[in-house]
Amino acid sequence: MALTDAEVARYARQLLLPGMGEAAQEALRDARIRVTGGGLSVAPATYYLAAAGVGTLWFDDPDEVKPEAGAGFALGPDDLGRPRGAALAGFARWASGLVTADLFRPGSRPTALLVCGSSPDVSRAIADEARLLQLPHVVADVDGQGGAVTSVPVGSPCYSCATRPGLGGAPTADGGATVGSLAALELILLLTGASQEPRARRIEVFRGTPLVRATARQPGCACAGPVAAGLAP
Amino acid sequence: MSARVPSARLDIRAHTCPVTWVKARIALSRIAEGEVLEVLLRDGEPRENVPRSAEEDGHRVIRLEPAPEEGEGTWRVWLARGAPVEERTWP
Ligand SMILES: [Zn+2]
C-alpha cells in the first residue's frame, strides 16, 4: 500500500536519504520487530525504530522497571514496578503516533528481532532462537568501553561466531545510547536492503571509535547446518 | 511512449519543503523512464527547488510556466523521468 500523506509528511526528510525511498519506507512500515532483553541499549533503539517508521514493535521483557534501569529519558518514576515491556511500548507510542507497540505475545509472528540482552549470554540464547526461526536479527551488546552491534541476516554467520570477548566492565548509559542507536540503524538498513556488503558484520565501538568487520563462521558451528542453507522446516 | 504528454499529474500546492520534492520524487518513481509527470506548484520556493532537485536527481525539466488558469500563483512544471539512478547505499 502506498504511503499516506501523513506518512510522507512524517518521514519526508528520511525519504530523501541515500537508499531510502517509498519502497524502503513501506518495508519499514510492514516490519514487525520483536524487541527483547533488558539491556541499556533497548530504550534508545526503541526510540529510533519507532521514529524511523517501523510499523510494529513487540516488547518481550516481563521484568519490572527498577530504579537502576538507566533509561531515565524513556522510563520515568511512574514506570517503576511496571513490566518493562509495557513501559517500553508506551514509550514507543510516545515517540511516534504511527507505530503499533505492544507486548510480545505467543503466536505473534515477527519479521525480525532486535536483541538487547543485559549480558552476552542472554543475547546468545535469544539470537540462537532467532537463527532457528530464520529471522534476521541485530544484537546490541553494551560494555564499559562502549559495546558492539552484530548484524545477522538469515543464513549468515551466527552471533556466537561473530562474537569475541569484549573488554568487559559495567555497561554505561553512554554506551547504551551509542550502541542502541547504532543497532536500530543496522536493523533499519537490513529491513530496507540499504546496507552494503558485507551485510553480516559486527561494529565494535571502543570509547567512541567504531571498528567494522565482516563476520565469519567458526569451524563446526551449528549455524553452518541445514538452517543456514534454508533446508530446515 | 511520448515525452510530450504527461502520464501522471501531481498537485503539491498545499505542501511546503521538503514534502513538495518528496512527493514529486515518489511520483517520478512510479512512472517509466522517459514518461512525463506534470506538477502544479506554487511560485517562489517550490518553483525554484522542485525543478532543481529533479535535475539533480537525473530528471529533465521540459516545461516550466505560469498556470494562472489553475489558480492564482500556480506554476506548471513537466518533468521527464531520467534513467533510474544506481541505488545508493549506506556504508
Ligand atoms: Zn555460528
Tens of pLDDT along B42-79? 999 999 999 999 999 999 999 999 999 999 999 999 99
pLDDT in tens, A17-47: 888 889 999 999 999 999 998 888 999 999 9
Say if residue A133's pLDDT is above 50. Answer: yes
**Cβ B23–A8 below 8 Å, yes or no?**
yes
Domain membership flag for residue A68: yes
**Cβ B18–A3 below 8 Å, yes or no?**
no
Count structural domains, chain A.
1
pLDDT in tens, A192-205: 988 777 899 999 99
ipTM: 0.77
Q: What CATH number does the domain containing A193 carry?
A: 3.40.50.720
State the residue range of the domain holding A207. Answer: 5-228
Q: Which residue of B has its CA nearest to A21?
A: B26
Domain membership flag for residue A200: yes
Cβ contacts below 8 Å, chain A against chain B, sum to: 39
CA A196 to ligand 1 centroid distance, Å: 21
Q: Is A18 on the interface with B (CB under 8 A)?
A: yes
Q: Quote helix, strand, coil % in chain B, to nearest 5.
A: 30, 30, 40
Among B17, B19, B26, B62, the one annotated catalytic: B17
Taking residues A170-187, what's their average pLDDT? 93
DSSP notation for chain A:
-PPPHHHHHHTHHHHTSTT-SHHHHHHHHH-EEEEE--STTHHHHHHHHHHHT-SEEEEE--SBP-GGGS-TTTS-GGGTTSBHHHHHHHHHHHH-TT-EEEE--TT---SEEEE--SSHHHHHHHHHHHHHTT--EEEEEEETTEEEEEEE-TTSPPHHHH----------HHHHHHHHHHHHHHHHHHHHT-BPSP-SEEEEEETTEEEEEE--PPTT-GGGSTTTTT---
**Cβ A22–B88 below 8 Å, yes or no?**
no
Contact predicate B61/B79, CB 8 Å? yes
Nearest to A150 by CA among A138, A160, A142, A161: A138
B36-42 vs B74-80, strand pairing mode:
antiparallel
Which has more confidence, A110 or A21?
A: A110
Per-chain mean pLDDT for chain A: 90
pLDDT at position A233: 44
Taking residues A94-114, what's their average pLDDT? 96
Find the range with the poorest average confidence among A36-50, A52-66, A154-168: A154-168
Domain membership flag for residue A105: yes
Taking residues B15-40, what's their average pLDDT? 94
Catalytic residue status for B64: no
Shortest Cα distance, chain B CAs vs residue A230, angstroms: 27
Q: In this structure, what are the phi and psi dihedrals at residue B37, rounded to the nearest 5 degrees? A: -110, 125
A8 contacts in chain B (CB < 8 Å): 19, 22-23, 26
Domain membership flag for residue A206: yes
* Domains of chain B: residue spans and CATH: 8-80 (3.30.110.40)
Domain membership flag for residue A123: yes
Domain membership flag for residue A233: no
